[in-house]
Amino acid sequence: MAKVRLATVWLSGCSGCHMSFLDQDEKVLELAEKIELVYSPIADVKDFPENVDVTLVEGAVGNEEQLELLKRIRRNTRILVALGDCAVNGNVTALRNSLRNSDEEVLKRAYVENASINQAAPKQVPRLLKRVLALNEVVNVDAYVPGCPPSAELINQVLNDLLEGRTPVLEGRFKYG
Amino acid sequence: MKPDELRGLAQKEQEARKSYRFRINVCCSSGCMPFGALRVLTAFRDAVREFKVEEECYVARTGCIGTCSLAPAVLVEPGDYLYQNVTPERAREIVKEHIVNGRPVKSMLYGNEAFFKKQLRVVLRNTGKIDPLRIEDYIAVGGYYALLKALTRMTPQGVIEEVALSGLKGRGGAGFLTGLKWRYVARAPGSPKYVIANLDEGDPGVFANRTLAEADPHAILEGMAIAAYAVGSQKGYIYVRSEYPLAVQTLKKAIEAAKSMGFLGENIFETSFSFDVELRLGAGAFVAGEETAILASIEGRRAMPRPRPPYPAQSGLWGKPTLVNNVETLANVPVILLKGSEWFSSIGSKNCTGTKCFSLTGKVNNPGLIEVPMGITLREVVFEIGGGVPPGRRFKAVQVGGPSGGFLPEQLLDLPIDYESLTKAGAIMGSGGIVVLDDTSCMVDTAKFFTEFCVDESCGKCTPCRAGLHKLFKILDGFTRGEGSVEDLSKVEDLCEFIKEASLCGLGQTAPNPTLTTLRYFRDEYVAHVMDKRCPAGKCFRSGGGGGVE
Amino acid sequence: MSKPIELTIDGRKVVAEEGETILKAAKKNGIYVPTLCYLEGVSSFGGCRLCMVEIKGSPRLFASCITPVAEGMEVLTDSERLRRYRKWAVELLLAERPHVCSVCVANGSCELQQLATELGVDHLRVDREWTDYEVDLTHERFAYDPNRCILCTRCIRVCDEVEGVHTLDLMLRGKNSKVVFDLDENWGFSQSCTSCGKCSAACPVGALYVKGKPLSEVKKKDLVSFIMERRSGK
Ligand SMILES: Cc1cc2nc3c(=O)[nH]c(=O)nc-3n(C[C@H](O)[C@H](O)[C@H](O)COP(=O)(O)O)c2cc1C
Ligand code: SF4
Ligand code: SF4
Ligand code: SF4
Ligand code: FES
């Protein structure tokens, strides 16, 4: 049987979901038998590939680069999974949405008001969106794995469901936060 | 007052009326006042004096005649000559030509016979023909006879039976059988019992109840007194919108007059029945007209609905059995008692008897307040009474039932107006608003407009209405700006279904109607917005957005 | 002693007392119905709509926390339709204001969060609102974050009916409704608040809370029913 082409992506998140993914411990090895990791922050691949079977996306969409990337991911992926609260509903990443002009305001707070040296907003980074978006505000999402971070066990269960062609049913099994 | 005194007074008044050859009724209700109705009234009185016809011509200050777009309107009897856009100068001419020379001034007459032809005035029987501030005027046309009849010749059960046999249904929107409701209140254990006349009328563009109160307040009071007798209550409240100052004034004076004549108060017509009425001013919200919200408001709490059961009939004001009826419902009652339930049930259709008042507005040639027999078709209302849409325009849809009424297309115009047919088609009877739209309206934009109204008016108590409608509005708003996809249409339907079925009160339960019916009958317009990013009516996608119904 | 009423809930024959709510009858018989605005010991509100049930013979849905039982009533507490609607209710509450569980005091002991888990609300189909109400930290022991309030009015009812003070009430209407102290006073400056803490004990979410204590440490719901039970002398 051909291996399932899996990708994992890190957008605006804290990488905690990826930590949790790795926390599957020895189960990662079982998983490795069934999958081929074609794109991931833990693999050195530059461009998001084509023909991906399953993509786990951690993090919300916070800037224009991520917006483009997510659309590309959607085009190239059969099953897109929102991994973790930021991807599912914005979570902490989206807290800035409560600020007026949050795109400018958030940079000002971080790089001007709270900086002791070089008080200036960075210019060479991708432009922030006016509003942080959850994945499903941008593209269709096929499965959701909430949690901050989702437990390694839940990630494992959902992946196994997907690899075996089942639709994951999360009732009673997940927890926001 | 003794029974004989009422008869004597009525006779005297009728004779006085007959002694005049002409009667000029000048509408001085909220519709005509801003257009100088009082100056017109003075002009008529001056002219009558000037031409020395005071003896044969009576000038009366009356309530609404129904043709508000022709304000100020004046009705000359006999013959019901209706003059439009009367000015003080024209008033003088009318007196000179019509009264003195016996030649009605054709050029000023309302030429539109069709407007009245299909109408039938039962509730509005006296509006525009009597002076609402003169209780004697009401007595002259048979006023308080029905109360007399009820108190002296009928048992409370008899009254309830008569009303039940008439088939009268509540005109406040839900169409619950009035006789049945009265029976529930009459049988409910507990005392004292209360009667509430609902005159909150919070729907924008609807003014039938206001007109009734301004033009014929005693019909409401008499209906209330009869209801109170039937259910065993001694205390009534009229819950009236505070935005209706003229109605409030008129009702206040009417209550005083009725008290001083003994139609309200202790031992009415020398029977053991006593009944008192007080006014309560509304809390200024649409939802305050919902019956359980009224209860809260009268008790001095926030006007928020509560779940039913228990119904007000079981546990109403201060936990006591309470009858809540719309004022139009109540105004029907005296006629039913006088003319009989058989007469009443011969009007309208089999399952839906009597008449209904509607405020006909929007893109029609003859807007105004109308009263039609139930069962009349929408086509007759829009095209015959309303005279169709303005020249050069095409009819697109008609909204029945106020802000949360559904929009019905051309192919449903032959639908008879009754509670069942309207509900089945996705509209509601509501409080009687009919708004006509022509081809300049975008249905998506229109649905959004009315959804926004309901978002603003939601009391915020229950999740579906408070949070759900707001989301619905945002999605519709997105459509008008080209956001969304075809899949979103089924999400909208799903959300609407939830709001409709899970909301606590009628506001939330009906608020999705504009969206659901436009999705049902005008789906292509939604598809054009989300797929082609195009607005067929050319309203949306412009800077500043659409404007809803003007 | 009021007369016993027989009804069926989910096909089971049960006996309830006259005047009792469907919810109470269900609970007594070990039948679970999700609730949120309901709080044992105070009057019912009927706003959240989580506890809706179907009653045979009516197309309507009924809030079981407030609908009294009736003889012969056939109640259904669970169905595909009810589950679908309950999901919507939780989803809309989560979307109505910014609920960020990961940084919330109530994380782990929040009834809304728990219901999301239970009903499988693993994502939101509608965009979220990001309200920016100011957090009221003026009281020395308690805090109030309106951004997490779900307008269940439990706090208002507890304050009014149990503490007897009525410091809290709703201001404005619709989506702008807001729980306020006195006439929209800061909590710390409220003249009527007795600082009893019952409101924060009653709050199902992280909107009212004791400063410096995770909610998991404060036994919540039970406090009110305990007080009411004691008072009734049972
Ligand atoms: C949001 C809402 C607003 C309402 N407004 C009015 C109103 O303005 N006037 C009215 O008579 N009924 C209104 N009703 C209906 C009343 O709740 C009640 O059904 C009616 O007054 C009963 O009288 P009826 O049996 O004579 O129709 C409203 C209902 C809802 C849900
Ligand atoms: S349906 Fe709307 S108006 Fe009625 S109780 Fe619920 S929130 Fe209030
Ligand atoms: S109140 Fe509950 S649902 Fe809201 S953020 Fe806190 S834990 Fe999450
Ligand atoms: S503050 Fe808490 S208890 Fe009070 S209404 Fe809001 S969510 Fe309910
Ligand atoms: S628990 Fe019954 S409506 Fe909220």
* B290-344 residue pLDDT tens: 999 999 999 999 999 999 999 999 999 999 999 999 999 999 999 999 999 999 9
CA–CA distance, C228 with C219 (Å, rounded to integer): 15
C94 and C126 Cβ atoms separated by less than 8 Å: no
Distance set, CA B280 to CA B168, B242, B283 (Å): 26, 9, 9
CB atoms within 10 A of CB C170: 17
DSSP run (H or E) holding B279: strand B276-281
B285 and C173 Cβ atoms separated by less than 8 Å: yes
Average pLDDT score over residue span B93-108: 93
> pTM value?
0.95
> Is ipTM strictly over 0.90?
yes
- pLDDT, averaged across chain B: 94
Q: Is B282 in the pocket of ligand 1 (CB under 6 A)?
A: no
- pLDDT, averaged across chain C: 94
CA–CA distance, B215 with B251 (Å, rounded to integer): 10
Average pLDDT score over residue span B11-38: 92
Q: Which chains touch C (3 or more CB pairs under 8 A)?
A: A, B
Residues in contact with B392: Cβ distance below 8 Å, sequence separation at least 6, in sequence order: none
Nearest-Cα residue of chain B relative to residue C47:
B462
Task: Write the burial class of residue A47 (CB in 10 Å: 0-12 exposed, 13-18 middle, 19+ buried).
Answer: exposed
Query: How is residue B227 written in tokens?
Result: 């209801």
Question: Does residue C219 have a pLDDT over 60?
Answer: no
CA–CA distance, B535 with B502 (Å, rounded to integer): 32
Domain ranges of chain B: 17-112, 142-345, 355-438, 443-531
Tokens 């003075």 found at: B42
CA–CA distance, B408 with B522 (Å, rounded to integer): 9
Q: What would the CATH number be for the domain defined by B142-345?
A: 3.40.50.11540
Residues in contact with B399: Cβ distance below 8 Å, sequence separation at least 6, in sequence order: B362, B405, B406, B407, B408, B427, B433, B434, B435, B436, B437, B450, B514
Distance C100 CA to ligand 3 centre (A): 6
Question: B310 vs C92: CB contact, 8 Å cut-off?
Answer: no
Q: What is the dihedral of CA B425, B429, B430, B435, to 10 degrees?
A: 80
Nearest-Cα residue of chain A relative to residue C124:
A89
Query: How is residue B42 written in tokens?
Result: 């003075």
User: Which C positions 152-171 lie with beta carbon below 8 A of chain A?
Assistant: none
Closest CA to B382 of B395, B369, B401: B395
pLDDT at residue B547 in the model? 43
> For residue B366, what are the β-bridge partners?
none
Q: Is B173 in the pocket of ligand 1 (CB under 6 A)?
A: yes
CB atoms within 10 A of CB C103: 12
Question: Does residue C27 have a pLDDT over 80?
Answer: yes
Q: What is the 3-state secondary structure (H, E, C) of B475-501?
A: HHHHHHCCCCCHHHHHHHHHHHHHHHH
**What class, spelled out in words, does domain B443-531 have in CATH?**
mainly alpha
Among B455, B459, B463, the residue with its CB nearest the CB of C48 is B463
**Band of residue B189 on the pLDDT scale cut at 50, 70, 90:** very high
pLDDT tens digits, B200-219? 998 888 999 999 999 999 99
Q: Which CATH number fits domain A4-96+131-163: 2.30.110.10, 3.10.180.10, 3.40.50.700, 3.40.50.12780?
A: 3.40.50.700
| Ligand minimally distant from the alpha carbon of residue C33 | 5
Closest CA to B68 of B49, B58, B56, B82: B82
Any A CB within 8 A of C83 CB: no
Topology of domain B17-112, CATH: Glutaredoxin (3.40.30)
Distance set, CA B243 to CA A46, B249, B284, B550 (Å): 67, 12, 7, 21
**Best mutation site among B454, B455, B457, B462 for ligand 2 pocket (most ligand atoms within 8 Å of CB):** B462
Domain ranges of chain A: 4-96+131-163
**Band of residue C230 on the pLDDT scale cut at 50, 70, 90:** confident
**Band of residue B428 on the pLDDT scale cut at 50, 70, 90:** very high
Chain centroid to Cα C108, Å, comes to 17
Size of interface B-C (CB pairs under 8 A): 95
A125 and A104 Cβ atoms separated by less than 8 Å: no
**If DSSP codes are grouped into helix, strand and coil, which group holds residue A143?**
strand
Any B CB within 8 A of C93 CB: yes
CA angle B155, B156, B161 (to 5 degrees): 95
Interface test with C, best of B461, B504, B505 (most C CBs within 10 A): B461
Chain C residues touching A173 at Cβ < 8 A: 117
Average pLDDT score over residue span C187-209: 95
User: C75-79 contacts: CB < 8 A, separation 24 or more?
Assistant: C75/C7, C75/C8, C75/C9, C75/C10, C75/C22, C75/C26, C76/C10, C77/C9, C77/C10, C77/C26, C77/C31, C77/C32, C77/C33, C77/C53, C78/C10, C79/C54
Chain centroid to Cα A174, Å, comes to 17
Question: Does residue B151 have a pLDDT over 70?
Answer: yes
Question: Does residue B118 have a pLDDT over 50?
Answer: yes
Nearest-Cα residue of chain A relative to residue C106:
A177
Domain formed by B355-438, architecture: Roll (3.10)
CA angle A40, A41, A42 (to 5 degrees): 85
Question: A98 vs C124: CB contact, 8 Å cut-off?
Answer: no
CA atoms within 13 A on the CB side of B168: 34
B415 and B371 Cβ atoms separated by less than 8 Å: no
Q: At what angle do helices B178-187 and B156-166 cross, to 10 degrees?
A: 150
Mean per-residue pLDDT pooled into runs of 10, chain A (177 residues) = 92 97 92 94 92 98 98 98 98 95 92 91 91 97 98 96 94 96
Distance set, CA C136 to CA B431, B460, C141, C208 (Å): 43, 22, 11, 10
Chain centroid to Cα B42, Å, comes to 29
Domains of chain C: 4-78 (3.10.20.740), 101-231 (3.30.70.20)
Q: At what angle do helices B523-530 and B513-521 cross, to 10 degrees?
A: 90
B468 and B493 Cβ atoms separated by less than 8 Å: no
For residue A54, is it left (φ>0), alpha (ψ between -120 and 50) or beta? beta
